[in-house]
């Protein structure tokens, strides 16, 4: 019964992890076989992906970072101050904001905003025979379309997460200055003293893996569409569900790995 | 003149059906017509010539490559020298007209991008669609899309040009315009063979075919 439940869950909504891994391996293999041929064309697709996923997402990231920073940092600070441990503020903010909340939050925004766009765009291209067209023009779609998207996505999610995190810390520091009268320089002192190589590594690892996972899963579902446009919303839903699941799973795995490493 | 396409008793299996036997021999510089009975036959022939579907029986050679013994490299070689123009292989929807035209050349050449852009612009200018260079395919008419497909082909070197259902739904003046442009291009290299796949070849009286076969 439980086995059937999990089989259904994976088959219908989450997909099998080895499908995504073998898809990524094929994309990497195509890239190795083609590189450096067509690098200028691939560069254009990558830059477009960075524009749509990164640059266009900066505004919403700044807004969310600003408000989340106010809420999270104010709450943490007032709680810690109540316990009389203001020197712990930096440590807890580092863990909460840098390690956990922001990489996940931005990943969720990216799945909803750009992951679905990748899936539906690729699905439409496949239904319109455009993928086939690229093949007959001797342009490997896995290299030209997918590798470029994965690369652009990883770069974008990393930069956007850095921007979101920095905004949250900045807005939080200003808010606690106004409410709790903790000076901004004290706040940053606590923060930077507690920010260590593990935090930065984990932050970057999360950005990297979340980027790879989201772009790979969304591309996989985009190319898995059949012949009918009615399949596009179906594959988009599967891509979103699956991306959420694997992003949260990787988040847990990375946290445990760093815990063991530390 | 050298033989570039040779099909002997070729029966293509496509979407659960088997096409009637095809015998075809195309030499360099020839203009050949293939008159088809059904849409399925057009699609089957398109996919066969560009090696998307190689499920067939009989003997088939393109550029001396036996189609029953192909690998990735030989398929790439065939696709490099054979240019297929059909609305079934459309422009890439998220690229602008000019980007569609120079994409293949940009991908396969090391020339500076500016030079490639200029070459593409000259070609679309000669076809009368330069004013639309910045538009996505969704904003082009069917005729403009056909011109853009033609421009994409003119950007690269090829030995065989296949035009599949390319002249359908066009009035005589537009057909004449396209034929003139194709023949103009052919004059630059008289070894280029042209294969035209159409439902009714009689609707193209302006072309003097070397061979006409029916499928």
d(CA A76, CA A90): 10
Which residues 69-128 of A have a C-beta within 8 angstroms of B?
121, 124-125, 128
User: A15's torsion region: left (phi>0), alpha (psi -120 to 50) or beta?
Assistant: left
Q: Which CATH number describes the domain made up of B3-214? A: 3.40.50.300
State whether residue A129 sits within 8 Å of chain B by CB: yes
Determine whether the interchain pair A139/B107 forms a contact, defined as Cβ–Cβ distance below 8 Å.
yes
Determine whether the interchain pair A38/B106 forms a contact, defined as Cβ–Cβ distance below 8 Å.
yes
Determine whether the interchain pair B90/A121 forms a contact, defined as Cβ–Cβ distance below 8 Å.
no
pLDDT tens track for A237-257? 999 999 999 999 999 999 998
Domain ranges for chain A: 17-261
What's the pLDDT band for A195 if we cut at 50, 70, 90?
confident
Q: Is the pLDDT of residue A7 over 70?
A: no
State whether residue A220 sits within 8 Å of chain B by CB: no
Question: What's the confidence (pLDDT) of residue A13?
Answer: 58
Q: Is A256 exposed, middle or buried (0-12, 13-18, 19+ CB in 10 A)?
A: exposed
Question: What's the confidence (pLDDT) of residue A84?
Answer: 59
A-chain residue closest to B103, CA distance:
A41
Q: Which of B79, B89, B91 sits opposite A138 (nearest CB)?
A: B79
Determine whether the interchain pair A129/B89 forms a contact, defined as Cβ–Cβ distance below 8 Å.
yes
Per DSSP, helices labelled H in chain B are 39-49, 72-81, 97-108, 113-126, 142-154, 172-188
A-chain residue closest to B88, CA distance:
A129
Determine whether the interchain pair B89/A132 forms a contact, defined as Cβ–Cβ distance below 8 Å.
yes
Backbone CA torsion sign across A27, A31, A37, A40: positive
What is the distance in angstroms between the Cα of A58 and the nearest Cα belonging to chain B? 22
pLDDT tens track for B95-134? 999 999 999 999 998 899 999 999 999 999 999 999 999 9
What is the distance in angstroms between the Cα of A234 and the nearest Cα belonging to chain B? 21
State whether residue B115 sits within 8 Å of chain A by CB: no
State whether residue A135 sits within 8 Å of chain B by CB: yes
State whether residue B80 sits within 8 Å of chain A by CB: yes
Percent of the residues in chain B that have a pLDDT greater than 90, as a whole number: 75
A23 token code pair:
């898809």
Question: What's the confidence (pLDDT) of residue A186?
Answer: 84
CB < 8 Å to B106, chain A: 38, 40-41
Domain ranges for chain B: 3-214
Evaluate whether B147 touches B127 at the Cβ level (below 8 Å): yes
Q: Is the predicted ipTM greater than 0.95, yes or no?
A: no
Percent of the residues in chain A that have a pLDDT greater than 90, as a whole number: 62
Rounded to 5 degrees, φ, ψ at A10 are -70, -45
State whether residue A137 sits within 8 Å of chain B by CB: yes
Q: What average pLDDT does range A55-76 have in this prediction? A: 91
């Amino acid at each position: 019964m439980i086995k059937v439940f999990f089989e259904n869950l994976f088959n219908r909504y989450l997909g099998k992890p080895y499908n995504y891994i073998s898809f990524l391996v094929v994309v990497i293999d195509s890239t190795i076989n083609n590189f450096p041929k067509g690098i200028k064309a691939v560069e254009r697709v990558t830059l477009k992906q960075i524009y749509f996923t990164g640059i266009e997402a900066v505004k919403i990231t700044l807004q969310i970072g600003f408000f989340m920073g106010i809420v999270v940092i104010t709450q943490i600070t007032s709680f810690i101050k109540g316990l009389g441990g203001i020197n712990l503020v930096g440590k807890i903010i580092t863990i909460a904001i840098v390690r956990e909340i922001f990489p996940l939050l931005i990943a969720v925004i990216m799945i909803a905003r750009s992951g679905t766009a990748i899936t539906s765009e690729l699905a439409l291209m496949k239904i319109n025979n455009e993928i086939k067209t690229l093949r007959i023009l001797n342009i490997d779609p896995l290299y030209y379309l997918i590798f470029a998207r994965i690369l652009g996505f990883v770069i974008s999610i990393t930069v956007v997460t850095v921007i979101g995190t920095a905004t949250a810390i900045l807005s939080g520091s200003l808010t606690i200055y106004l409410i709790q009268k903790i000076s901004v320089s004290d706040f940053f002192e606590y923060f930077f003293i507690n920010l260590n190589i593990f935090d930065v590594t984990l932050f970057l690892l999360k950005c990297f893996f979340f980027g790879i996972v989201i772009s790979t899963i969304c591309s996989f579902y985009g190319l898995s569409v059949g012949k009918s446009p009615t399949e596009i919303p179906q594959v988009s839903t599967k891509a979103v569900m699956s991306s959420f699941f694997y992003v949260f799973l990787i988040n847990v795995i990375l946290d445990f790995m760093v815990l063991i490493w530390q | 003149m050298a033989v570039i396409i040779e099909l002997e008793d070729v029966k293509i299996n496509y979407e659960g059906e088997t096409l009637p036997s095809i015998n075809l021999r195309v030499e360099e510089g020839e203009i050949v017509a293939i008159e088809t009975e059904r849409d399925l036959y057009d699609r089957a022939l398109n996919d066969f010539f560009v090696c998307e579907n190689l499920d067939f029986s009989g003997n088939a050679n393109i550029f001396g490559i036996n189609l029953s013994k192909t690998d990735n490299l030989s398929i790439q070689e065939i696709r490099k020298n054979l240019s297929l123009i059909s609305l079934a292989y459309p422009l890439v929807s998220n690229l602008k007209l000019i980007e569609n035209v120079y994409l293949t050349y940009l991908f396969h050449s090391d020339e500076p991008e500016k030079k490639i852009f200029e070459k593409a612009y000259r070609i679309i200018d000669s076809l009368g669609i330069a004013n639309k260079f910045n538009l996505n395919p969704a904003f082009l008419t069917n005729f403009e899309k056909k011109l853009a497909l033609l421009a994409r082909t003119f950007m690269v070197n090829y030995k065989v040009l296949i035009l599949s259902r390319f002249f359908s739904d066009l009035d005589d003046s537009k057909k004449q315009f396209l034929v003139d442009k194709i023949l103009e291009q052919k004059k630059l290299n008289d070894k280029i063979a042209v294969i035209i796949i159409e439902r009714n070849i009689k609707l193209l009286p302006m072309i003097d075919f070397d061979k006409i076969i029916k499928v």
